Amino acid sequence: MAPLHRLVILKTLQSPVFLGLHKRFVFGQICIYSRGLTDITELGYKSSSTKIMPIGSVLFTSRAPIGYVAIAAEEVSTNQGFKSIVPLKTVPSEFLYLLLKRLVPIIERNAGGTTFKEISTSGISKIKIIKPSELILKKFEKK
């Protein structure tokens, strides 16, 4: 068993720039989003702490509700209700997507909050998983 953070780089973004999803493609069980309903302006980007996440980042809602998952088809930025997760080069985005979908009940049990449940970056990074071998990840990537 290993903590989830051994497979990914977790990012918590602070600027409310993700207002909804616009273009969605579904491949089997996997949702891939190419953009939100609105785009961040250059002024908004420069005046906030938001970061642009790379293509292939896995977007995970971390509050109200916990557990919506998507893969970014283009560079994106999200708001504070997300964990934007950049898989390591050896971890396919699709694998991480499916893993997070399976982990939602465990993540929800580890969430805190009184008004609504929320999982912190440190909370989600400590979730224990069985780390697959590189051989399994390579086979997964080929499919």
- State the Cα–Cα distance between residues 10 and 31, nearest whole angstrom: 20
The confidence score (pLDDT) of residue 6 equals: 64
The confidence score (pLDDT) of residue 4 equals: 65
The confidence score (pLDDT) of residue 51 equals: 78
CB 96 within 8 A of CB 56: no
b/e code 77-105 from CB counts within 10 Å (16+ = b):
bbbbbbbbbbbeeebbbbbbbbbbeebbe
Task: Give me the residues paired with residue 71 across strands.
Answer: 32, 58
Give the dihedral of Cα atoms 51, 5, 25, 117; nearest 10 deg: -80
The confidence score (pLDDT) of residue 53 equals: 86
The confidence score (pLDDT) of residue 104 equals: 94
CA 96 vs CA 50, 52, 76, 116, 140: distances in Å? 23, 19, 17, 25, 11
The confidence score (pLDDT) of residue 7 equals: 60
Per-position pLDDT tens, the chain of length 143: 666 666 665 554 433 333 344 444 445 566 766 666 667 777 877 887 777 889 999 989 898 889 888 888 888 887 778 888 999 888 999 899 999 999 999 999 999 998 889 999 899 988 988 888 888 888 877 65
The confidence score (pLDDT) of residue 5 equals: 60
CB 118 within 8 A of CB 66: yes
The confidence score (pLDDT) of residue 68 equals: 87
The confidence score (pLDDT) of residue 1 equals: 64
DSSP conformation class of 69: E
CB 123 within 8 A of CB 111: yes
- State the Cα–Cα distance between residues 65 and 67, nearest whole angstrom: 6
The confidence score (pLDDT) of residue 103 equals: 95
